[in-house]
Structure 1
């Protein structure tokens, strides 16, 4: 007599096979290396930064260093206040990753339970949650975040985390709902119901582990979007406030000097944003291809 296992029981082998598929994807591995690089830069910022990102260097060795062009002493140049651009970009990685991670956690905390309830219970609960999702989707994403942040006169980074997470949860909820609708009638769920297990245990122990793969993909792809939104908020003055080394804030401060030849103040932070967003997009696409069993050869 052969032993029957649920999808969750064979999760170890499925995750190992997914890793093998992920490792064969060159763009995915490149994205993984790029993401690890950004994380290391953020973690080691204190030790690898050549200057204090907040220190204003007006004169050095008898020479003015305000808006100094890239050189051997300041690889990415300096800003109007003599602050080293490279050092501020290195510390700015911390702000971007913090907002990306914590805003994603907020969206997961809101989106997973609501999506699970909508997909598992169905009926009027599904209708109510789906209506709420559609209402949030009806508003432009950035404008909705701006409305939440604008309520506070001096929004802190925590407010930005929560504001972005309060908007970003809808995509997570939709993915979780779709997975629960497809899994709630499976044999292992029917067996759990027949054994008299409570609904909360069926949802979080039996169904949710089997629905995590697309959630992980959605969260990873969403990280790049969240970093872009944070940069847009900072550019508009609703994110990190001066003198915090934020990439979006640096672009906002330096964009007026682009026409005067001081291009480095805005260009290098923009390249940092592009690098980070591209890294998470490569990683998310690779995870999607690796975790989608329909793509298994």
Structure 2
């Protein structure tokens, strides 16, 4: 007990010393540090605003460019080892969209293509000759540059009866730019590579010409589809005299027909027996890499980014050749195939700055009108207060929607952004005006204000130099607590389609894509903007509480 009492006395003596010899800012900082949640919130907000400032640098992909073949793509898995089991650093693979013919559900599977492959060509030359092929590189054998190659794959569906006998009921040939690891037959397996990184085709079932099993289905839904809803398979099943009760399952296989190679001059085909060895393409995640071009702060031309991957050379992505960024979706993609990370950091510029600019306008108007009304009183006070009461009596939500709806749709995103700030500020200033007016009414009766009047100071100087500075504590606290309202207001307008519009980005606009149950259940990453709105609003409220406690006169020893 004596030890605890001594510690308490020492703490009290330290507090007395600090209150006597520390400056007011130092006392405020000391009080603020005692609010743990407030300090955490402060650092979260600092990080968010740094992200907004360096959004271009932090974005691995151009937030405006659409990759429609990757709409609603899920977050990419980051691999640390390649198919040989060798640690090669963080890397990703492109996605191949696979649609289930029965359920019509689309899934994205990691897929690749050949960085290089070596084949014996006995079709276009007098003698069998080994040829090494690489995309967008000059090939001396062809005397031309290889521009593209496609996998010509044959997909076959078999019905399996109770005796295990298989009947082919469907066959489709497709030209694919990518091939999944399941189709290659090496999913979950480790293969060996030579000293140059080539993998022998003997280790890859698809490239050997083998038939690779993709899936086995035994559901009633599959039976209904193949027996009743698909005319082609139904005819084949009838030809085999197969009944539903005879079938135990359906198997899907894939096999390689040919590899189609295009050059600037000609067209070639390679069969599985021509293939000798291949290198599978990986997209290594590189830091401080060069990608799409931008102007930092709208002034400095740059193309440096924190991280990214190289751009694919496949013509399949030809529509994206206007940009230099590779495809990487660490947090998934939206309905237009745009990167969520890039959209989020760019959206933060709107969602975070709109609060700061909004309170700057609102508080300037509120301080001026409130100070004038409280100081002069009389008919000026009556006119201003009646006007503010009229505005406050109008439902703010409907006023907000009405003012936003009358804005011309052809306005540029920048002008639209400024007008939204003005609209939000227009709604927010009456409340601030009434509070400042009330505080001014009390302050103008104090001795130092009466002394300033007696000395003949101009009214404007008295208001701005003496009255309004004494409301600073309330203004600071109110500002930090008001910013979340502006953020939510912009988010609500953009969510309803009345705020920021495509192709610009804001958290509210992004969240509008998650307003149906299909998106919520199938694409949960679309809710990330809502999570950031929640964190930001909570952080501002906690930080506002901390500021309020830190500015409390009792905390400063006054």
Structure 1 unaligned regions, length at least 5? 1-11, 59-63
Query: 1-side partners of 2:51 and 2:553: how far apart?
Result: 34
Give the equivalent residue in structure 1 for 2:332: 77
Q: What's the secondary structure of 1:293's corresponding residue?
A: coil
**Bigger helix fraction:** 1
Paired with 1:30 and 1:90, the residues of 2 have a C-alpha distance of 20
1:39 aligns with 2:49: yes
**C-alpha displacement at 1:259, in angstroms?**
4.9
Aligned-residue offset at 1:134:
1.8
Q: Hey, what's the Cα distance between the residues in 1 that align with 2:521 and 2:374?
A: 56
Task: Tell me the equivalent position of 2:399.
Answer: 144
**Which residue in the other structure is 1:21 paired with?**
31
Query: Following the alignment from structure 1 to structure 2, what is the Cα–Cα distance between the partners of residues 259 and 278?
Result: 23
CA distance in 2, matches of 1:182, 1:29: 34
Partners in 1 of 2:441 and 2:552 — Cα distance? 17
Alignment check: 8 A CA contact 2:514 2:520 kept:
no
Provide, for residues 137-164 of structure 1, a one-character-per-residue CA deviation record: whole Å limited to 9, x for no partner: 2122222112222222226111101000
Check 1:296–1:118 CA distance in 2 against 1; reply closer, same or farther (3 A cut).
same
Give runs of aligned pairs for residues 139-218 of structure 1, distance below 5 A.
139-154=394-409, 156-218=416-478
1:175·1:215 contact (CA, 8 Å) conserved in 2? no
Residue 270 of structure 1 corresponds to 530
* 2:365 paired residue number: 110
Deviation string, structure 1 residues 48-102 (Cα, Å, up to 9, x no partner): 11211112224xxxxx522111223422210121101111011100011231122
Q: Which has the higher strand share?
A: 2
Q: What TM-score results when the alignment is normalised by the length of structure 2?
A: 0.48
Deviation of residue 243 (structure 1)? 1.3
Q: How far 1:126 sits from its partner (Å)?
A: 2.1
Partner of 2:519: 258
Distance in 2 between the 1:294 and 1:142 partners? 38
Q: Normalising by structure 1, what TM-score?
A: 0.88
Alignment coverage as a number of residue pairs: 280
Question: Higher relative contact order by CA 8 Å / sep ≥ 6: 1 or 2?
Answer: 1
Question: C-alpha distance in 2, partners of 1:15/1:207?
Answer: 21
Runs of 4+ that moved beyond 3 A: 12-16, 294-297
C-alpha distance 193-259 of structure 1, shift in aligned 2 (>3 A): closer
